Structure 1
Amino acid sequence: MEVTSKATRIRLFSIGTPQMRAFHMSWFAFFLCFFAWFGIAPLMKIVRDEMALTQSQIGWLVIGSVAITVVARLLIGWLCDRIGPRRAYTWLLIVGSLPVMGIGLAQDFQTFLVFRLLIGIIGASFVITQYHTSVMFAPNVVGTANATTAGWGNLGGGVTQLVMPIVLGILTVGAYIPFTNIQFLPGLGLSDAAGWRAAMVIAGAMCALVGVAYYFLTQDAPEGNYRELRAAGKLPPKQSVKGSFARAAQDPRVWALFVIYGACFGIELTVNNVLALYFIDYFDFFASMTAVQAVQWAGAAAMLFGLMNVFARTLGGALGDVFGRRWGLSGRVRWLFIALFFEGLALMLFSQMPVLAMAIPALIVFSLFVQMSEGATYSVVPFINKKALGSVAGIVGAGGNAGAVAAGFLFRGAIPWPTAFLVIGALVTVTAFLAFAVRFDSQTEIEARTALDAALADRRAGLAAGGVEPAEAAG
C-alpha cells in the first residue's frame, strides 16, 4: 500500500501536522498499554503472598501474560491494513482496558491466570504504533520514527515498575521516596489485597480514556483516513488486503525477523515480568523489608531497565538509518547483527552478578543493547514488503511475544533464575547470526536508495523554503 505526503523529518515539539499528531499519540497510547500490561508485575509479591502462589504458577503467569499477544499481533497488522490504525487503536484500547480493570475480581490462581492472559491483548498496540509511524514518515527518518515511538512506548513497562508500587503505597500504608525510607505521601488505609486491585482499575481507566482521544485526535494517513481515501480511489479497496498476510507469511525473511525480534523484544517482555521478583528473591538487600517496602524498592530498581527506552531504542533505529544511508539495506542488517550479538553477551554478564550494586550496572548495559536491537529490527521491517506492511509488522511483532512465551518456560522453577538468564543470553548471541538471512535483491536496494534520495531532496527543499516540507504542508 503506497502512501504519499510522508514527513521527511521529525518535528518533535509540534502537533500541528497529522504526521506529528500520530507520532505523539501512538507512542503515548503504547506507553499506557505497556504500563497497564505490566502494571501487575511489580505487585506480584503481594499477589503471591495473598494467593499462596507456587514458583510453577508464577512461571505460568509469566507465560500467560504474553501468550495471547502472539495471536493478537498477527491479527492486528492485517486489521490496520483493512480499517486503518486510528480505529484499530481505538478499539484495542477500549476493549483491552476491561481485563486490566477486571483482574481485581480474581480470588485464586485460575481466575488470575485468565485475566492475565486477556490483558495480553493490549500488547498488540506495538504493531499499530509501528504501522502508524511507518505510514506517516519517509524512508530517511522512518527508522528513527519507529524506534522513538516504540521506545517511548516501551518506557511504560519501566515506569510502571516504579509508579504502581507507589500507587499501591498511597492506597495502603504510604508511599516512599525511591531508594530511601522517607515517606512522602500518607496511605489511605486500604489493605494490601484491596490496594493492588484498585491500582489496576486506575491503569485500565486511563487506557479507555486514551482510546477515545486517539479516535478524535489522529487520522490514518497524511492525506486522510482510509475510508475517505478508498472512496476517492487513492487507496485499494478492502478486498485487496485479504492476501496481504499470505504474501508476508511466504517470505522467509519475515520469519527470520520473527525469531530475531523474539530474541530482543521477547526478552524485554520476560525481564519486565520477572525482574522485581528476581531482585526480591535473589538479593539479600531486600530480606529485612516489609512486603510493601520491598515492592517499592525492587520496583524502583527494576524501573532502571525500562528507563533506557527514553533513548536506546531511538538510538538503535537512528543507527539503522545511518547504516542504511551509508551501506543501503544490507547496512541496516549489519547493524542489527551487532546490536543483537552484544545484547546476548550483556545478558550473560548480568546473570552472573552476585550483589545488587554489580547487577544494576550490568542490567543497564543489557538494557541498552536489547532496546537498540529492537530499534534496529524495525529499521529493517518497513523495507521488506510495502504492500503488506501491516502483516509484516504484525508477524515480526508476534515474534517478540513468541520469544517471551518460550523464555517463560525457563522461569517455572526447574532451574534457578540466574541460570535461566545465562541460557537465554547464550541463545540470543547465537540468534544474532540469523540477521544475515535477511537479504535484499539489487532492484529493492535501488528502489530504496531512490526513495531515500527523494526524501532527502524533499527535506532540503523544505529547509530552503523556510522549514516547511512539502509533505507536511500537504497535511
Structure 2
Amino acid sequence: MPSRPDTIRARIGALASFDGRYRVLHLTWFAFFLTFVVWFNFAPFSATIGEELGLSREQLLTIGLCNVALTVPARVLVGMALDRWGPRRVFGAILVYAAVPCTAFALATSFEVLVASRLALSIVGAGFVVGIRMVSEWFPPREIGTAEGVYGGWGNFGSAAAAFTLPGVAVAAGAIGGWRAAIAATGVLAAGYGLYYLRAVTDTPEGSSYARPRRQGALEVTSRRSVYALLVLNVPLVAVLGLVAWRLQRVGLFSTRVLVVILATLAVLLVAQSRRIWTVNAPARAGAYDEGDRYPIRSVAVLSASYFVTFGSELAVVSMLPTFFADTFGLSAVLAGATASAFAFMNLGARPIGGLMSDLMGSRTRTLTTILLGLAVGYGGMALVGSAWPVGLAMAAAMCCSFFVQAGEGATYAIVPLVEPRVSGQISGIVGAYGNVGALCYLTLLLFAGPTAFFLTIGASAVVVAGISRFLVEPAGSFADAHGEVVDLADPTPVAA
C-alpha cells in the first residue's frame, strides 16, 4: 500500500481535476451548495424584513423556526425517493422546485405568506441527502470518506456564502427590489442549475447498475429485531414535529386548541407510518433473509445519534453564537456575527479532514469514537468561555470545537453509505433527519438554560454517543477498491467476494 502522505497528496491533487468521478463530485457538491444558499437566504435579511413589514422579534423567530420545520420528514421522504428514482432526477427536481417558494417569499407582504413560503422552503434543506448516494455510487469504499467529506463540507458552506454575498446582491439590486430581488435570484439560480444537472450527470458510472430496494414505502430491514428497532427510531422523527408545533403555539401563531389538533394528527401519522413499516418488512418478521443478506440496524441508530450530536449542535450553535459573543464581550451585532462566522467557516476543511481520517486510520468506527470524544472536550472548553477571556482566545476555542463538530460529521457520513448500499438513500435520510432533530432539541434547551448549561449538555451527549459507538459495526468492505469487495480489517487488502 502507498504511504499515507503519498495517499493524502494524491487525493488532494485529484480533487483539483474535473474528470470522471471528480467531475461528478464537484457538480454535486455545488448542487448541495445552492440548496443551502436557498435554505439560508432569510437570515441575512431578517432585520430588514422585520423593519419593512413591521414584524416583531417573536414573529421573526417563528419564520426562522419554520425554515427547518419540515426538513426532518422531507429528508426521510427524499431518501425513499432517491433510492427509487435515482439521485440525478431527485436533485434536479429539488433545485427546480426551490424557485417556487423562493419567489413566493420574495413577493410576500404578510406574515402568513412568509410563514407558508418558509415552510415550503424548509423542504429544500433535504437536498443534502441526495448527494450522499450520488457520491457513494461514483467513489470506491476506500475513498468514500474523503469524497463525502468534500461534498458535505463544501456544500454546507452555502449557508455562510449566503450570509456574505446576498446583502451585497441586495444593495446592487436596490433599484429593482433589494432583498426581494436577491432572494428571488437564489431560486432562479437553483432552478437553472437543476436543469443543467439533469443533463450533466448520470446516477452511476458506465457499466454499473443502480441498486434499488426490493420493497418500497419504508426502510427495508433484514431481521425481526430490526423491525422493532426501526419502529423506535421513527418515533423521534414524528415527535420533533410536535416540538415545532409547541414552539409555534408558544409565540402565538395559533391557539392551544389548534396545537391539540396538530398533536393528534401527528399521533395518527405515527400510527400510519408504524403500520407501513410493519407491512413493508413482513419478510424480515418472517425471517426470510439469510445471514449474508442482513445489515445491522444498530449501526443506523448509532450513526443517527452521532449526527444528532454533530450536525445538530452545529445548527444550534451557529444560531446562538452571535448573540453569545455580543452578550459576553459587548460586541456590536456586526462584529459578533463576523466573529461567530468562524464556526461555519471550518466546514471547508474540517469535514473533509474527518472523512479523510476515516479513510486512512484503519477503522472507521474507532475514528468516529475518537472525534466524538474530541468534540466533548471542545464543548467543555466553550462552557468555560466568559467575559474575562480575550475575544481572540474565545474565538480560537470556538474554532477548535467547530473542527471536531464538523470532522465528526465527515466521519459519520464516511460510514453511512456503506451500511447497506442498496438502501443508502433512506439510511442517509434518517441519519440526516436526526441532525435536524438534534438542532431543534438543543435550541429548545437554550430557551430554559444558559449558554454554559447548553454547551455542557452537548458535551455530555457527545460522551454518551462515543460510549454507544462500540455497538457500531465496521461495514464489510470499508477499505475496498471497488464496491462489492470484502476486506479483512486486520489486513486492509481487498480480496474477491
Same fold (TM over 0.5): yes
Residue 184 (structure 2) aligns with: 201
Map 1:53-68 → 2, pairs under 5 A: 53-68=55-70
CA distance in 2, matches of 1:52, 1:430: 44
Residue 363 (structure 1) aligns with: 398
Deviation of 1:305 (Å) = 2.2
Residue 469 (structure 2) aligns with: 436
Deviations 1:14-39 (A, max 9, x none): 3231x222201111111111122112
CA distance in 1, matches of 2:113, 2:478: 52
Residue 253 (structure 1) aligns with: 299
Give the letter for the 1:90 counterpart.
G
CA distance in 1, matches of 2:454, 2:44: 19
Q: Please point out which of 85, 88, 91 is paired with 1:89.
A: 91
Deviations 1:281-318 (A, max 9, x none): 6653317xxxxxx4xx5554343222211111000111
- 5+ unaligned residues in a row in structure 1: which ranges? 1-7, 173-187, 288-293, 459-475
Give the letter for the 1:303 counterpart.
S
345 and 42 in structure 1: CA distance in 2 versus 1, 3 angstrom threshold: farther
Q: Please point out which of 342, 346, 349 is paired with 1:304.
A: 342
Q: Please point out which of 14, 17, 28 is paired with 1:14.
A: 17
Is the aligned partner of 1:285 residue 2:331? yes
- 5+ unaligned residues in a row in structure 2: which ranges? 1-9, 231-296
Which stretch shifts more, 45-54 or 115-124? Answer: 45-54
Give the letter for the 1:245 counterpart.
L
Is the aligned partner of 1:27 residue 2:73? no
Number of aligned pairs? 407
Which stretch shifts more, 55-64 or 22-31? Answer: 55-64
**Contact 1:165–1:299 (CA<8 Å) still a contact in 2?**
no
271 and 164 in structure 1: CA distance in 2 versus 1, 3 angstrom threshold: farther
Give the letter for the 1:220 counterpart.
D
**Contact 1:41–1:274 (CA<8 Å) still a contact in 2?**
no
Residue 242 (structure 1) aligns with: 216
110 and 215 in structure 1: CA distance in 2 versus 1, 3 angstrom threshold: same
Deviation of 1:245 (Å) = 1.0
314 and 369 in structure 1: CA distance in 2 versus 1, 3 angstrom threshold: same
Q: Please point out which of 152, 155, 177 is paired with 1:153.
A: 155
Q: What is the alpha-carbon root mean square deviation over aligned residues?
A: 3.3
Map 1:20-419 → 2, pairs under 5 A: 20-172=22-174, 194-223=177-206, 234-235=209-210, 240-242=214-216, 245-247=219-221, 250=230, 251-276=297-322, 284-286=330-332, 294=334, 297=335, 299-323=337-361, 325=362, 328-349=363-384, 356-410=391-445, 414=448, 418-419=451-452
The TM-score, its normalising length taken from structure 2, stands at: 0.72
**Contact 1:345–1:429 (CA<8 Å) still a contact in 2?**
no
Deviations 1:124-174 (A, max 9, x none): 1111111111111111110111011110001111222221233334345xx
**Contact 1:70–1:398 (CA<8 Å) still a contact in 2?**
yes
Deviation of 1:383 (Å) = 2.6
Residue 467 (structure 1) aligns with: none
301 and 256 in structure 1: CA distance in 2 versus 1, 3 angstrom threshold: same
23 and 388 in structure 1: CA distance in 2 versus 1, 3 angstrom threshold: same
CA distance in 1, matches of 2:184, 2:436: 25
Deviations 1:95-118 (A, max 9, x none): 123212321233344332222222
The TM-score, its normalising length taken from structure 1, stands at: 0.75
Deviations 1:214-241 (A, max 9, x none): 11111100126xxxx7xxxx455x6725
39 and 144 in structure 1: CA distance in 2 versus 1, 3 angstrom threshold: same
Deviation of 1:381 (Å) = 1.2
2:37 aligned counterpart, secondary structure: helix
CA distance in 1, matches of 2:301, 2:71: 17
Which stretch shifts more, 273-282 or 376-385? Answer: 273-282
The sequence identity of aligned pairs, in percent, is 32
